[in-house]
Structure 1
Amino acid sequence: MKEFNVTGVCIPEKHYMVNIDSKLEQLIELVNKGNYFTINKPRQYGKTTAMYLLAKELRKKDYLVIKMSFEGISSKVFSDETLFINSFLREIKRNLKLRQKEKLLKFIEANDDLDTINDLNYFITDFIMEADKKVVMMIDEVDKSSNNQLFLDFLGVLRNKYLLAKEGEDYAFHSVILAGVHDIKNLKLKFRTDEERKYNSPWNIAVDFKIDMHFNIREISTMLKEYKNDKSAQMNIKEIAEEIYYYTSGHPFLVSKLAKIIDEELEQLKWTKGTIRNAVKFLLTEQNTNFSTLIKNIENNEDLYQLIYKIIMEGEKITYNLDNPIIEQGQLYGILKNDNGLIKIHNRIYEQRIYNYLSSKLETSVDMSTYNYRDSFITKEGYLDFEKILNKFQLFFKEQYSKKDKEFLERNGRLIFLAFIKPIINGKGFDFKEVQISEEKRLDVVITYLDRKYVVELKIWRGEKYHQKGLAQLTDYLNKQNVDQGYLISFNFNKNKNYQQKEIQREGKNIFAIWV
């Protein structure tokens, strides 16, 4: 019985998988051309699966593929030349045994007395000549060893052989494929100190890796089609694929994870847009290594933290420029992406997880319990009394934050509301936020509680002209969400502000507005 897989390599015979034939064709083309390259993508991005499937296809084309991973090799191996060489040879032997290459095995056993990198250099030449076919070297998880000189020396050997082979002066691997989070061409910046070597990467022979490893809507559909046929599930494949892509932006782990949750946790065979939203809600409450890594990478880098805060809480327009090391690091970790020349959080699920993380930090630092006790905001029918929530938030803000400095409030006002609302909806509700990049820099929050939607717009007061503009935008957003009642919170940081509430009628929509 097949299942969705989110850990390790995906096997077509065992797992429901996205069809990545188009990506494999591009990878094979790189190999056919004899290119050296690195598949550098964030963790859980399908690198290992791509390497596995690529190796299978290359073997069908009569390449000799030597495939290994540095993940299972002791770090001690990378501290000594002889240990490294012996381990490297063992991995080659393992590959040859699995493929029953007895002739090459005997050759290695007769020539395995190697002590130095220079010995390994000559051995590779002899091995490739003996193989009498194109040899492709594939190494996964190269990051494990990439911060030491021995690894760089090894890359230097491969580079030198590649260049000499081009001149007909040596034999080299036909293609070398490395996989890891980092682009090996840039790893030197992490630990080299002398300027000359800092900019002379031993891997500058590698071509840029430009293959898009995201899953597009068409590719996601292939996985859903297989599952639908196998399980007799009910779904509009195109609609569901679009909805999954809407939340994940095609992130391989998140795509498979949502499907796995629906199949195994929600146990539903009728997939609708509501099913996807429920799976997103479930996922956002779950702890997993992907989310742990996401938050750790933000926590451990103050500059990246501040950049992300500006983007998602303040709606700042920041130009995408990979020459900026903070932006480069954010993309390296899979947190940021280029969205028409501006930086954006990679996907909506990450965005929501980061919102929750930021609001939780604030929630645990401020006692709100006397203001946001959940039961006091529930109607007899079990729904939210949202006007009462906003009135109480206004009181809380007035009593607890009125004396805070303007800069703090401008930066944190919207986050304070998110922290305030969280305990009220927790368990039965789900809040989804979208930053609207415009002059208003507004944050729209759509809260689903039971079967009702509550649309709230949060923005900074900038005068009546912008207020009317904001009302028009909120009205338009209410139409998109197909609801007639909306809510508006205007954060007014003028000294002589008035804490007021107002019922506003606009184009058939009811808007309850408060000023704090």
Structure 2
Amino acid sequence: MRFFNTAGPCVPGSHYMLPPEPRLPAARRLIDRSQFFVVHAPRQTGKTTVLATLARSLTTEGRYAALRVSFETGEVAGDDYGAAEEQILFALRQAALVAGLPDAALPPDPWPTAPAGSQLLTALSAWAQRSPRPLVLFFDEIDALRGESLRSVLRQLRDGYTSRPAPFPASVVLCGLRDVRDYKAASGGDPGRLGTASPFNVKVASLRIGDFTASDVAELYSQHTTETGQEFSEAALARAFEYTAGQPWLVNALAAEVVDNLVAAPERVTAEHVDLAKERLILARATHLDSLVARLQEPRVRRVVEPLIAGELVQLDAYDDDLAYLRDLGLLAPGREARVANPIYREVIVRVLGAAAEANIVAEPRSFVQADGRLDFPRLLTEFVGFWRQHGEVLTRDGAYHEVAPQLVIMAFLHRVINGGGYIDREYGVGRGRIDLLVRWPYQAGAQRSWQREAMELKVWRAGRPDPLPAGLQQLDDYLQRLELTTGTLVIFDRRPTAGPIADRTEFSTQRTPTGRAVTVLRA
């Protein structure tokens, strides 16, 4: 029986999977034109599956000898480009032997000898001359190479490309996490200078493998339904796409968590099952998520993510290399607007950044649950104020994400209390000037399962800016209107140098929004 795959390339017959080639529709046209191009996509988006499938199809059809080979083994060579070439040539031969190429299209054995820095060029030229079919090579994980090794490989590819019609592969596809601009940075060059005689001007296009659409997610999940009889409700499908925004690994991981660990077939999968699976994925911090959060301390990542959390404008050009880098990583969604790629990543980012604060919170979650099962939200706020008065100065003094430290602290407090019993939905992004939070807490009202909802808005008062209270009341009013709630909480953190000590300035008050809603205001 097939299953949802979360590790390695998908295998037909073993995994639920969508047809790979339609995810890269322009590739065949470029190959038929004997062009070199780049394919890039964040990790675990199905890139290797697409490339391997396309290579097999091209070879089976009889027109080309196509091969996908990983360059990961060349990473250990560092700047030793001669050693990197030897690793690459060994990987090419091994991949060719198991790829089902015709004997006449196999690489020469042994490879011709050549000095370091020209071994790859010489080998590929000899192979192309020997093969009765045009060679199409997919160099996967090309960005595993670094420094002089990457520079040497790209330079030899350029030299082979420009020497045609002398024998050389008809099409070479550079495949990796990043677009070609960051290849130059990885090799020690200036990513802003990509023209003229550089190893970076041989590509005619950069193709990005996109995420799944909502209909793709429904089609993938329907394969499980067909084989097991276990249906996903329409609400569950919508919730899965909402949380993942179609990121392929998340789509598969969410479904795997549901059907493998939460609800057995043929019981129907509901939106609540998807909610729980999302929480379990975040808490488990799978390798996929860990590989992303490990980037958060990189200066170029922090430069973009910190203002995103704060709701400030990202002071970068839309084509800035840092923005492009985060999009290539998959942390940001494609497009001109700077926004986190999906709600799961958005949640993981703030939980990871607030982990140090959460480790200092000793509040017992069950102590906030009332006899009727509802959450004692006023008490939660009061307990936070006590914690903030005692520890706020220390927790916001240092840290890489200093500008959003107060918001991270209060969200960490909420995580500590809410996790395991309820859910926190959050919205933050460029130009919002705030973070909107919705706490959802399930409880039993007689025989019926009900939901308590508490809305919060977080704002910061910074030096040189007016008191954010009026704008905050209007924004909270709009948020409550959208949620159809009658009351909420506005939290304003005072980060002005002239602000008094936290213990003195932290206080509650009651205010009315422009439409007359009574809301709690916490100045901290």
TM-score where L is the length of structure 1 = 0.84
Q: Provide the residue aligned with 2:151 in structure 1.
A: 152
Contact 2:455 2:480 in 1 (8 A): no
Instruction: Give SS of 1:455's match.
Output: strand
d(CA) in 2 for partners of 1:102 and 1:412?
Answer: 62
Of the three residues 442, 448, 457, the one matched with 2:440 is 448
Q: List per-residue Cα deviations over 1:431-488 (Å, max 9, x = no partner).
A: 221126666x222212223342332222347366425413421321322xxx555333
Contact 2:435 2:457 in 1 (8 A): yes
Q: Provide the residue aligned with 2:464 in structure 1.
A: none
Residue identity opposite 1:422 in structure 2: H
Q: Provide the residue aligned with 1:279 in structure 2.
A: 277
Q: Provide the residue aligned with 2:348 in structure 1.
A: 353
Question: Do the aligned partners of residues 100 and 332 (structure 1) sit closer, same or farther apart at CA in structure 2, a change above 3 Å counting?
Answer: closer
Q: Provide the residue aligned with 2:134 in structure 1.
A: 134
Q: List per-residue Cα deviations over 1:321-367 (Å, max 9, x = no partner).
A: 3653433332332222355x331122211110111112222233xx5
Contact 1:19 1:219 in 2 (8 A): no
Following superposition of structure 1 onto structure 2, how do residues 481-496 of structure 1 map, counting pairs within 5 Å? 483=485, 486-491=488-493
Instruction: Give SS of 1:250's match.
Output: coil
1:114 maps onto 2:89 in alignment? no
1:466 maps onto 2:494 in alignment? no
Q: Provide the residue aligned with 1:499 in structure 2.
A: 507
Instruction: Report % sequence identity.
Output: 21
Instruction: Give SS of 2:242's match.
Output: helix
Instruction: Give SS of 1:427's match.
Output: coil
Residue identity opposite 2:439 in structure 1: I
Q: Which moved more, 1:79-88 or 1:404-413?
A: 404-413
Root-mean-square deviation over aligned CA pairs: 3.6
Following superposition of structure 1 onto structure 2, how do residues 141-220 of structure 1 map, counting pairs within 5 Å? 141-149=141-149, 151-165=150-164, 168=165, 170-184=166-180, 186-192=182-188, 200-220=197-217
Q: Provide the residue aligned with 2:76 in structure 1.
A: 75
Question: Do the aligned partners of residues 212 and 377 (structure 1) sit closer, same or farther apart at CA in structure 2, a change above 3 Å counting?
Answer: same
Alpha-carbon distance, 1:17 to partner: 1.4
Aligned length: 498
Question: Do the aligned partners of residues 297 and 391 (structure 1) sit closer, same or farther apart at CA in structure 2, a change above 3 Å counting?
Answer: same
Alpha-carbon distance, 1:46 to partner: 1.7
Q: Provide the residue aligned with 1:326 in structure 2.
A: 322
1:362 maps onto 2:357 in alignment? yes
Question: Do the aligned partners of residues 161 and 446 (structure 1) sit closer, same or farther apart at CA in structure 2, a change above 3 Å counting?
Answer: same
d(CA) in 2 for partners of 1:82 and 1:202?
Answer: 20
Q: Provide the residue aligned with 1:384 in structure 2.
A: 375
Question: Do the aligned partners of residues 285 and 74 (structure 1) sit closer, same or farther apart at CA in structure 2, a change above 3 Å counting?
Answer: closer
Contact 1:85 1:114 in 2 (8 A): no
d(CA) in 1 for partners of 2:439 and 2:478?
Answer: 18
d(CA) in 2 for partners of 1:459 and 1:195?
Answer: 37
For structure 1, the residue ranges without an aligned partner over 5 or more in a row are none
For structure 2, the residue ranges without an aligned partner over 5 or more in a row are 444-450, 462-466
Instruction: Give SS of 2:43's match.
Output: coil
Question: Do the aligned partners of residues 320 and 39 (structure 1) sit closer, same or farther apart at CA in structure 2, a change above 3 Å counting?
Answer: farther
Question: Do the aligned partners of residues 154 and 501 (structure 1) sit closer, same or farther apart at CA in structure 2, a change above 3 Å counting?
Answer: closer
Q: Which moved more, 1:56-65 or 1:251-260?
A: 56-65
Alpha-carbon distance, 1:39 to partner: 1.8
Question: Do the aligned partners of residues 118 and 390 (structure 1) sit closer, same or farther apart at CA in structure 2, a change above 3 Å counting?
Answer: closer
1:227 maps onto 2:224 in alignment? yes
d(CA) in 2 for partners of 1:135 and 1:145?
Answer: 22
d(CA) in 2 for partners of 1:82 and 1:492?
Answer: 56
d(CA) in 1 for partners of 2:329 and 2:120?
Answer: 34
d(CA) in 1 for partners of 2:395 and 2:122?
Answer: 70
Q: Provide the residue aligned with 1:22 in structure 2.
A: 22
Contact 1:77 1:84 in 2 (8 A): no
Q: Which moved more, 1:486-495 or 1:224-233?
A: 486-495
Residue identity opposite 1:160 in structure 2: D
TM-score where L is the length of structure 2 = 0.83
Instruction: Give SS of 1:38's match.
Output: strand
Question: Do the aligned partners of residues 475 and 368 (structure 1) sit closer, same or farther apart at CA in structure 2, a change above 3 Å counting?
Answer: same
